[in-house]
Amino acid sequence: MLPSARVSDDADVNEPAHDASEGSGRYSVRAVERVADILDTLQRAEGGVSLVTLAEVTGLPKSSVFRYLATLEARGYVEKDPDGGDYTLGVALPSQQRHFELLSARARPVLERFRDRFGETVNFGVLDGDRVLYLEIVESHRAMRLAARRGDRDYVHSTALGRAIAAGLPEEQVRRIVASAGMPALTTRTVTSAEELVASLADVRANGYAIDDEENEEGARCVAIALPGARVPAGISVSAPAVRLSREDAARVAAALAEEASYLGRRLRPRGGDRVEA
C-alpha cells in the first residue's frame, strides 16, 4: 500500500502561479506541490505505479494526473511502461544516476563476454529524454574499432540502438522524440522523415533487431536489440567497421544477443534495497 500524499482539493492543472499564506511569509505553489507529490509517490514505490493509483494517492482527477505525467514524461522525469502503462521515475532525475551505476555494473560482464565472442565493440544504452544515453561501452581490442564514450548521447533515428528501443515505444512517443531532437542527415543514408522512421520500426519489430547501415557514421555498421524487462527502455548493440560486419553477420550477431536479452533485461531491473558499491 502506498502512503497517501498531501494535496489541496483544487484539481485544475491550469491554476494561479502561487498562493501566499497571509502572515506566514511563505509561498505555496500548488502545481509544483502536485508534481512533487507524484514524484514522491514514484520514488517510494518499489515498481511501476498506475495512473489510477497515482490519482487515488494524490486525490486528483485522472485527467489532471495524466497531464502532469505527460509533461514530466516529455522532459524525462517520468517513464511510462509501453506494455503495462505503469509509471516510474525517469532518467532525468539525479536519483537515477545511482540506478545507472547499478545497471552498468550488472551489464558489464555480459558486454565483455560478447566483446570477446565477436571481437567488436559492445554498447549498452538507455533512452534519455529524446536521445540514447550510452551507460557502458566495452571496446574491441582491435586497432581499428568503433566506440562511443560513456555518457555520450546519440540520436534515436540514426542509430541501431535508438531504433531498437523505439520499436518498443508507442508511435506517438516516437514522433514526439524525433520532433524534439530533430532528424539531421548525419550521412547520405540517414532517414530524415518521421513517416519513414515509423514505417521502418515495423521491420525492426518483425526481425527482432535493428541495423544502422552507415546511417550514423560513414563506414560504420551497428546491430542492436532492445532488452525486455528492463526498468527503463534499454538496448545492447555491437558496432564495427562495415568491412568487418556485413548485414548477414549482423543478423547472426543479433540472434546471439537475443539469446541473453530476457536474462539481461531482468538483471537490469533494480530491486528494493539495491546499492552500488564505490
- Name the pLDDT band for 86 (thresholds 50, 70, 90): confident
Contacts with 93 (C-beta within 8 Å, 6 or more apart), sequence order: 39, 77
| Percentage of the residues of the chain whose pLDDT score is greater than 90 | 45
Distance between CA atoms of residues 226 and 168, nearest Å: 8
pTM over 0.85: no
Confidence at residue 245, expressed as pLDDT on a 0 to 100 scale: 92
- Looking at the predicted structure, is the pLDDT value of residue 7 above 60? no
The helix/strand/coil state of 79 is: strand
* Confidence tier at 9 by pLDDT (50, 70, 90): very low
Percent of the chain residues topping a pLDDT of 70: 79
Range of weakest confidence among 70-79, 129-138, 174-183: 70-79
Residue 232: pLDDT band by 50, 70, 90 thresholds? Answer: confident
Give the pLDDT band of residue 136 (cuts 50, 70, 90): very high
- pLDDT, one tens digit per residue, over 247-262 is 999 999 999 888 877 7
The full set of domains in the chain, from first to last, is 19-89 (1.10.10.10), 96-267 (3.30.450.40)
Q: How many Cα atoms are found within 13 Å in the side-chain-facing hemisphere of 82?
A: 18
**In whole numbers, what is the pLDDT of the chain averaged over residues?**
81
pLDDT at 80: 84
SS3 content of the chain, % helix, strand, coil (to 5): 40, 20, 40
- Per-residue pLDDT, averaged over 9-19, amounts to 44
DSSP assignment string, 133-196: EEEEEE--SSSS-----TT-EEESTT-HHHHHHHTTS-HHHHHHHHHHH----SSTT----HHH
For the chain, the residue count is 278
pLDDT at 16 over 80: no
Q: Encode pLDDT of 104-132 as tens digits.
A: 888 888 899 999 999 999 999 999 888 99
pLDDT at 3: 43
Is pLDDT at 42 greater than 80 in this prediction? yes
